[in-house]
Amino acid sequence: MKALAALIAAVALFGSIQLFYSGGSEGRTADESAQSPGDYRLVANGDEASCAVKRGTEVADGLSLLTVTANCRQVLPGIERAKFWREQDDGTVTFSANGIDPIVTFGVADGDGYESYAPALPLLSLAAKSD
């Protein structure tokens, strides 16, 4: 009986270690894997102003480095300070200077990309650049 209990404990430990090192990535959808590092175009109010942003390498679960070009200040004043892209479990994306406090928050758009909802104005769209 002790051997059976030890075997069950060993299997449970091995399984939890595998889950920890795999990061639980088995549950990721195709949409999540499509959100890999890359170049994006940020546009205000239907092409009034636009700029380039680049999602960099992931530094923590859901948190990636972000490069925002200086002319993005024309799209949304203050966004040029953003250094981090955070993707939440619900698909929302935030840009922040410190990885925590959002400067802008995007929801998944009807098509490809994202649309901002905070701040309410200006309305921003974010889409991957096509090569």
Tokens found for residue 35: 């959100």
Tokens at residue 10, please?
């060993």
Average per-residue pLDDT for the chain: 78
pLDDT given for residue 61 in this prediction? 92
Tally the C-alpha atoms within 13 A of residue 49's C-alpha that lie toward its C-beta. 13
pLDDT in tens, 78-100: 999 999 999 999 999 999 999 99
Q: Is the CATH code 2.40.128.10 the one for domain 36-128?
A: yes
Instruction: Give the residue with greater pLDDT, 15 vs 47.
Output: 47
Q: Could you tell me the pLDDT band of residue 10, with boundaries at 50, 70 and 90?
A: very low
The pLDDT tens digits of the residues spanning 34-73 come to: 456 799 999 998 777 899 999 999 999 999 999 999 999 9
Global pTM value:
0.70
Separation CA 50–CA 113 (nearest Å): 15
| CA-based nearest residue to 94, from 130, 53, 131, 129 | 53
- Token readout for 116 is 């901002």
**Could you tell me the residue ranges of all domains in the chain?**
36-128
Which residues, 6 or more positions from 102, have their beta carbon under 8 angstroms from its beta carbon? Answer: 86, 94, 95, 96, 118
Q: How confident is the model at residue 17 (pLDDT cuts 50, 70, 90)?
A: very low
Note the Cα 127 to chain centre separation in Å.
Answer: 13
Contact 68, 95 (CB under 8 A): yes
pLDDT of residue 110 exceeding 50, the answer is yes
- Whether residue 5 is predicted with pLDDT greater than 60 in this model: the reply is no
**Residue 131 has what pLDDT?**
60
